[in-house]
Amino acid sequence: MLPSVLQRRTTDHVPVLADEVRRLLAVHPGETVVDCTFGAGGHAALLAADLDGRGRYVAIDRDPAADAYFESFRRRFGSLQPRLLHGEFSVVLEQLAANDFEADAILLDLGVSSMQLDRPERGFSYATDAPLDMRMDPTAEVTAADVVNHATERELADIFKRYGEERYARQIARAIGRRRPLATTFELVDAIRSAIPAPARFGDGHPAKRVFQALRIAVNDELGALERTLPAALEMLRPGGRLAVISFHSLEDRIVKTFMRDGERGCTCPPDFPVCVCGNEPLVRALSRRPIRPTDDEVAQNPRAASARLRVAVKV
């Protein structure tokens, strides 16, 4: 196993399910790896090391903050001639696939990265006061403030319910409507607190957690991007190539599970057909029937890993 000092030397970020990703992607020298969510480069350091100086490493990230981490990565793994492509991963993957680019291993580590959470000015965290932003790409037009202040109360309630599974979605939307315009994270937190009954404010984590998650998903179109990305990733993979997806939300995991199970099934004929007439063959083989979860030790060392789920499939 790669010494942990190698990981620490590359970045302070602790990659989630690192050993499991490395084992199941099984990267070998000479292969091409596409890292769709480079972030601070935690997984990249491990996977690039397995290439042992031979192969290609293509990183994708829409956040300019990744540039500094990638520069450090490029200096360490220059023999791979790594490239960083800027943009939403669904768009970049579709462009690569359209140009017949092929890969042996593709990784998606979904959700917000530690480098974004740990920068208060980005507005992702409810723990510090900052402008309501939440854009993974700071050049994108729509911010969380735009959504909070211009969506109807019904639209806000739908966002909070659908993406955050917030039981007090309607009450929170009404409280926001009474207090608008809201400009900062603490103003939003205060509105959320005012709408939740006192006994419920102290259960299952911070009372603003689900609303902040829902807004972030909506602002960055995270579920739509994932649905567009998976077919492009499968198209890019060579036979025998591996696709690994780490999700942190049940809706994300459901999309990945459905995609992989549909790919395994192949045949789309109704179950009462005596023989297959569609001719569709299985496209992937999942490496585990259930999502892989972090160990108790990992969660103790890195609480942000608690909700992580990993699914890996091989293209057949």
Whole-angstrom Cα distance, residue 147 to residue 77? Answer: 41
Q: Is there a domain that residue 129 lies in? A: no
Confidence of residue 274 (pLDDT cuts 50, 70, 90): confident
Residue 131 lies in a domain: no
Pick the last residue of a domain from 219, 237, 261. 219
Lowest-confidence segment of 40-49, 276-285, 305-314 by average pLDDT:
276-285
**Residue 5 confidence (pLDDT):** 34
Question: Would 229 be classed as within a structural domain?
Answer: yes
CATH number of the domain that 111 lies in?
A: 3.40.50.150
Percentage of the chain exceeding pLDDT 70 = 94
- What is the average pLDDT across 143-153? 98
Regarding whether 279 and 202 lie in a shared domain, the answer is no
Examine the domain organization and report whether 59 and 151 are in the same domain: no
Closest CA to 289 of 251, 260, 265, 246: 260
User: pLDDT at residue 278 above 70?
Assistant: yes
Q: What is the pTM of this model?
A: 0.89
**Domain stops at, among 195, 219, 243:** 219
227 with 213, same domain? Answer: no
- Residue 49 pLDDT > 50, yes or no? yes
pLDDT value of position 277: 82
DSSP per residue over 87-148, as a string? S-HHHHHHHHHHTT--EEEEEEE-S--HHHHT-GGG---SSS--BS---SSTT-S--HHHHH
**Residue 292, beta-bridge partner list:** 310
Give the mean pLDDT of the chain: 92
Q: Domain ends where: 190, 219, 248?
A: 219
Give me the mean pLDDT over the 153-177 stretch: 97
Same domain, 19 and 74: yes
Domain that holds residue 57: 4-115+222-315
* Number of neighbouring beta carbons within 10 Å of residue 147: 18
Interatomic CA distance for residues 237 and 2, integer angstroms: 26
Structural domain count, the chain: 2
